[in-house]
Structure 1
Amino acid sequence: MKIRYLLFNAYSVGGTIRTVINQANALAGEHDVELVSVFQTRDQPRFDLDPRVRLLTLAGLRGSGWRHPIRAWLGGRASRLVPPSEVRYASFNRLSDRGLVRYLRSLDGGVLVTTRPALNLLAARFASPSVIRVAQEHMYVRSHKPDLIDQIARWYPRLDAVVTLTDADAAEYAAILDGARTRLATIPNALTPAVRTPAAPNSKIIVAAGRLTRQKGFDLLVEAFAAVADKHPDWQLRIYGDGKERAKLQRLIHRLHLYNHVFLMGGTTTLEQELAKGAMFVLSSRSEGFGMVLIEAMAHALPVVSFDCPNGPAEIITGGRDGLLVPPQDVTGLTVAIESLIADPSLRNRLGTAAKESVARYYVDRIRGRWEQLFTELQEMKAPSRRSSAPVGP
């Protein structure tokens, strides 16, 4: 089966990039897989790519502008096709518009998986109906702005399927796309094969990870840890990730006199090794599409504490059995949950052991089978009415 994944930037670092590359790698053994990146910002992707996966870039902007004046001119002008309500709108441009439309109109048959709203919308508008068009939601639909949801309601009915990470989000899409023939499916992200060292039994390190943005709620976590550090000064918090909130978080750490307790560790491509150093993992997000880092931590037998934010944590964690769920943005509750794990090593061990067992349902072999089944069913549905008509215009 010919399967194509279309990413905003396969050369950067982030949860969507990592999980999409993992999917492409998992399918490469049995299928013809292509990874298409709209932009290219470095020579090689940061995450390992199976050599059987072909890598294609649509709108490279690297190199001197004076050598490529037309490319530079197009790259400096705002997109005409991406809705301004898309979070990444400012990063798209006329050059990416041209590259995307040319690519989408060139396709015939096979599967195309698009991985963010702008790309999903463009696939609906410009890819031929001969292509199985699958939109993959990596956040959740209600996290998008109302204008973007209006665009989703208008164009997604042209897609063959929308795949969400949680059942809750699938229900939201069902309401928005009411009456559309677009298939809705829930397929969570997969755990890839890795050597996962169990959590360090005597560690006094709390691990957190994610982009340093308001959504991830690291400001709430730092505030919660301030009370923890007062009672347990020998414990420390390590936050892995980069982002625009870094300076703000650093100021908060200094204001709360936590500079010897809380450390912004920067981005890493070796999170598995860092998780193994921890005594617990904490997710403090205001919202999540799923919470991939939760299942990665749980696979190390790390006890986890998480806000019960929309939409993913409650579908991953069974509170009190394999982790602790705290009401959304409840800083005091987060402090209490962390302190309960610090005070009770046997509770840490019990939750961690159960966590490792419960995430077996996310192993890549199981998740790969669900993707293959979906693609096969969509292919069978399209076969009787397969058309070779010209691509649909805007």
Structure 2
Amino acid sequence: MKALVLAGGSGTRLRPITHTSAKQLVPVANKPVLYYALESLAQAGITEVGIVVGDTHAEIESAVGDGSQFGLSVTYLRQEAPLGLAHAVMTAREYLGGDDFVMYLGDNFIVGGIEDLVSRFREERPAAQIMLTKVAEPEQFGVAELDVDGRVVGLEEKPAVPKSDLALVGVYLFTPAVHEAVGELKPSWRGELEITDAIQWLLDRGHRVESTIISGYWKDTGNVTDMLEVNRLVLESLEPEVAGSVDSTSQLIGRVVVEPGAVVRGSRIVGPVVIGSGSEVSASYIGPYTSIARDCRISNSEIEYSIVLPRASISGVRRIEASLIGHDVEVTPAPHTPRAHRLVLGDHSKVQISS
């Protein structure tokens, strides 16, 4: 069995961060989201992985390399444009050959891994096996309809009127039967080749499609709110460790990780918190559920429930919360007079200002 990991796409919901960085590499607890997917595949016993990449291919390839750090053998597959999940399968047709495969969306996060799901698929080998979870807004997802016996009878992508509240999680398992289905598809109203249409094609022709409703945690980390929530969840399992330098005037409370080369001076850190290597925190308060990446500088400031990316600097800021702060960002207080806001914002930014 092989794996197909989707790491293309433009990440529009995470702009402006994704104007300069691949969305799959935005860190959760100081580790890129994509790494969690690759580790999950390795734990399930899969060693051959094709990664579908687009415009951010150079960054993805630099971060993952040949896959050996995960115990994997990685092949990169260029997709001409993000034309749908089924189009990604079509792009990988030669690589996949006649093998069964797992398709894993590289910006999805699933607690507990997929070992049980893969084992079940290997034993039963339905044409397709999908994971479902109940969501509050099913119209934002691919939606599955089940009959009274729990069998999948229909699927639809982002329906205006959903027939259930069961959304497809971003992990799919297929036999080679899916290639015929993909080859018969026409673009949807979104202009994409939908994987839900391919699975529906299999159903319509009598192929067996199995589903598993998961009760554990799943998130599509495509927006800031979900990214912060996943960061919170991962930090909950943090084991405290101080490998850097913490002076006697600082206070560490709860689960705090200070990575090698990090320095904490005159500060109060309330975990769960991770402070990356080479970062310096001085005269500051770092509150729960905060990840500070490598080589950051935080002084005379307060921040909590946030993600700070590498080389960011925060100085003299009273309070920051629920924020995603990008690479090489500088955050400083505004002048007291005149009383005005000075902003330099990238395209598609969202800003909240207290008046």
Q: TM-score, normalised by structure 2?
A: 0.32
Q: TM-score, normalised by structure 1?
A: 0.30
Structure with higher strand content: 2
Structure with higher helix content: 1
